[in-house]
């Protein structure tokens, strides 16, 4: 699928202050069939965002919001529920008090509903006001434009499997190895020379990754790499528990 020239959209029915600011940032105004914001990720997945101001959330929770979120999930690959504003008060009976007075919704009812939506893979975002919403929507767009980046301003990685790698290899090195082998199981069963076939993986990193994925077991005959000599030796030869 060819990437469109404009890949981020704001619904024409959103508040004017939000629309105008996003238009300044290169978003296009259109009447979306579902959701309030939509953009494409780096690999052309659709991300849909449903914005609910707190009082609107209190009024729509149940069938109306469920229908809106279901429709958004049907049309997008990733669905985000963004709740904007503050929870003014929770009274002693645990009823949520919004700008329009006491709501029949209790704190438990609201968050149980949201929790059930999260179990259906709907992502929750919270903002404090419209300005924060503008900022966060922009941050989310930037987040999904980098293949692995967790943030438009950082070099962290979204593929949680990189956390299984040793320190010093949890960035591009881990991604290169994962791309080559496809799974942690395959990596754990690879030899040192296999890692050398991966992009930007030299002998030192190959040995580091190999040793890391072969430590912590008590099985006889476990092998590790001597990083000084490059020799693969049996655990029993080391005279220590790995």
88-115: b (≥16 Cβ within 10 Å) or e: eeeeeeebbebeeeebebeeebbeeebe
Q: Please give the share of the chain, as a percent, with pLDDT higher than 70.
A: 74
DSSP annotation of 163: G
Element of type H or E holding 86: none
For tokens 């040192």, name the residue. 192
Contact 232, 193 (CB under 8 A): no
pLDDT for residue 34: 95
- The confidence band for 145, taking pLDDT boundaries of 50, 70 and 90, is confident
Contact 214, 237 (CB under 8 A): no
Parallel/antiparallel/unpaired status of strands 232-234 and 101-106: unpaired
The mean per-residue pLDDT over the stretch 133-144 comes to 93
| Residue ranges of domains in the chain, CATH in brackets | 8-143 (3.40.50.10130), 160-238 (1.10.150.20)
| CA-only gyration radius of the chain, Å | 25
CB atoms within 10 A of CB 148: 16
Q: Is the pLDDT of residue 103 over 80?
A: no
35-64 pLDDT, tens per residue? 999 999 988 899 999 999 988 887 788 889
pLDDT for residue 231: 57
For tokens 């699928």, name the residue. 1
Contact 176, 200 (CB under 8 A): yes
Torsion of CA 123, 183, 224, 207, to 10 degrees: -80
Element of type H or E holding 210: helix 203-212
pLDDT for residue 155: 47
For tokens 């956390």, name the residue. 163
* Bigger pLDDT: 209 vs 224: 209
147-203 pLDDT, tens per residue? 654 444 444 445 678 878 888 887 788 889 998 998 888 898 899 999 999 988 999
Vertex 155 angle, CA 167 and 185, to 5°: 50
d(CA 74, CA 67): 11
For the chain, the average pLDDT equals 81
Q: Is the pLDDT of residue 119 over 70?
A: yes
What CA–CA distances, in Å, run from 12 to 34, 78, 92, 209? 12, 21, 40, 51
Q: Please give the share of the chain, as a percent, with pLDDT higher than 90.
A: 48
Contact 39, 22 (CB under 8 A): no
DSSP annotation of 149: B
- The confidence band for 240, taking pLDDT boundaries of 50, 70 and 90, is very low
pLDDT for residue 123: 94
pTM equals 0.61
Q: Is the pLDDT of residue 26 over 50?
A: yes
């Amino acid at each position: 699928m060819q990437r469109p020239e404009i890949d981020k959209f704001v619904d024409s029915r959103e508040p004017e202050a939000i629309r105008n600011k996003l238009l300044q940032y290169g978003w296009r105004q259109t009447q979306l069939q579902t959701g309030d914001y939509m953009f494409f990720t780096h690999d052309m997945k659709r991300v849909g965002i449903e914005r609910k101001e707190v009082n609107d959330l209190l009024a729509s929770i149940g069938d109306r919001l469920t229908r809106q979120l279901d429709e958004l999930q049907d049309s997008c690959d990733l669905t985000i529920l963004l709740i904007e504003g503050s929870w003014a008060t929770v009274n002693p009976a645990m009823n949520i008090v919004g700008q329009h007075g006491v709501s029949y919704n209790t704190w438990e009812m609201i968050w149980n509903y949201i929790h059930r939506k999260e179990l259906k893979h709907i992502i929750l975002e919270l903002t404090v006001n419209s300005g924060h919403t503008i900022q966060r929507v922009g941050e989310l767009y930037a987040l999904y434009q980098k293949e692995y980046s967790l943030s438009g301003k950082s070099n962290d990685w979204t593929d949680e499997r990189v956390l299984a790698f040793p320190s010093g290899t949890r960035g591009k090195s881990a991604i290169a190895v994962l791309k080559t082998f496809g799974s942690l199981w395959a990596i754990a069963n690879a030899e040192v020379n296999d890692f050398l076939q991966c992009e930007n993986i030299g002998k030192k990193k190959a040995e580091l990754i190999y040793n890391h994925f072969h430590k912590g077991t008590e099985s006889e005959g476990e092998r590790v790499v001597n990083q000084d000599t490059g020799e693969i030796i049996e655990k029993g030869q080391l005279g220590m528990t790995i």
